[in-house]
Amino acid sequence: MMGRGAGGGRGASSGSGADASIGGVAPAVDGGEAVAPAVAPAVAPAVEFVGVSFAYPDGTQALDGVNLRIEPGERVAIVGQNGSGKSTLVRHLNGLLRPTAGRVLLDGRDIRDVHVAKLAALVGLAFQNPDRQLFGGRVAAELEFGPRNLGVRGSELAECVKSALAAVGLQDEAETNPYDMGYSRRKLLAIASVLAMRTPILILDEPTTGQDARGVARVRGVVRATVAAGRTAIAVSHDMRFVAECFGRVVVMRGGRVVLDGTPGEVFAERHWSELQAAHLEPPLPAVVGARLGLGSTPTDAALVERLKSNA
Ligand SMILES: Nc1ncnc2c1ncn2[C@@H]1O[C@H](COP(=O)(O)OP(=O)(O)OP(=O)(O)O)[C@@H](O)[C@H]1O
Ligand SMILES: [Mg+2]
């Protein structure tokens, strides 16, 4: 199936024609040495889907005319019921899938014209299923793979690995075999392996699946740090609380289309509850309680407690 050799978002080992016009990143050249520090991107490129439709080879129409623009440094959650096309959508961003119709643009440039090595330096995608991304061996080797393919070496490579492991709380696991780790930690490892590439666009497909509260907090920290560094964070998620608390924008998909797009306050507002229900989504509990108490759809815990106390 989809191994990293198939362009799993973890970098390609060769590149050609340096084109620094997108995101200010120079790709690695053939032979592996970078022509410029490949993991010190300046600004994330804007992402744009223009009328993107996609059908799998068996005829399944997974995307149906998606129009969506994501600005540099945005924090965007993509939500929707199973099979609504979320993973298919984000797989277009690292070139793993190509639209059947329409275009995917980075800074206005069709992704088709961006060399695979350059794309790997710009867009990091942590797969929904970590086992499609990990290949065993040692944790440290997993993490070195991506940045090494971008031409990073020596102490810079060691630093990429160390900081990515620390970001997900796996700093003591460098010598562990990933398959001796449980699912939730393999999932964090897959996220770390993408983080290590320091791509200006970070995409996490269902990052909180299987995570306990500490794991979710780590993922939250990853998203916050990414955006604080001026990079773009995109996550696909079924966890509405994580979405409401951690993202500035929520995109709701249904049947391969974008049906709602706004801030969590807008998307989880009462007037959209029937649309959310149609997409098999439930607004997070604070949104429901907040709306009932007249506090809006993104009340803070403190505001809720205060109002409930005063009503008691
Ligand atoms: N490799 C594939 N071949 C054929 N159809 C596929 C393939 N991958 C996904 N699909 C189908 O495409 C549609 C969209 O799938 P996709 O995985 O993008 O949805 P999703 O929103 O990510 O769902 P989930 O929440 O379950 O992860 C679904 O009907 C799915 O069954
Ligand atoms: Mg999916």
In this predicted model, what pLDDT tens digit does every residue of 157-201 receive, in sequence order? 999 999 999 999 999 999 999 989 999 999 999 999 999 999 999
What is the DSSP secondary structure assignment for residue 132, as one 8-state letter?
Answer: G
User: What are the chain's domains?
Assistant: 46-281 (3.40.50.300), 283-312 (no CATH)
Identify whether the C-beta of residue 147 lies closer than 8 Å to the C-beta of residue 160. Answer: yes
Mutate to test the pocket of ligand 1, among 52, 78, 81, 86 (most ligand atoms within 8 A of CB): 86
What is the whole-number distance in angstroms between the Cα of residue 159 and the centre of ligand 2? Answer: 31
Give the number of the atom of ligand 1 that is nearest the alpha carbon of residue 84: 21
Q: What are phi and psi of 273, to 5 degrees?
A: -60, -35
Question: Which two three-digit tokens encode residue 157?
Answer: 């490579």
Ion ligand 2 neighbours (CB, 5 A) are: 86-87, 128
Question: Which two three-digit tokens encode residue 182?
Answer: 């449980």
Q: How far apart are CA 287 and CA 305, in angstroms?
A: 14
Mutate to test the pocket of ligand 1, among 2, 58, 88, 234 (most ligand atoms within 8 A of CB): 88
pLDDT digits (tens, 9 = 90+) for 35-60: 333 444 457 899 999 999 999 999 99
Radius of gyration for the chain, computed over Cα atoms and rounded to the nearest angstrom: 20
Q: How far apart are CA 215 and CA 151, in angstroms?
A: 30
Mutate to test the pocket of ligand 1, among 53, 56, 239, 259 (most ligand atoms within 8 A of CB): 56
Percentage of the chain beyond pLDDT 70 is 86
Indicate which ligand has the atom closest to the C-alpha of 82. 1
The amino acid that residue 79 corresponds to is V
Helix count (H) and strand count (E) of the chain?
A: 11, 10
Q: How far apart are CA 11 and CA 5, in angstroms?
A: 9
Q: What are phi and psi of 254, to 5 degrees?
A: -150, 130
The mean predicted confidence, pLDDT, of the chain is 87
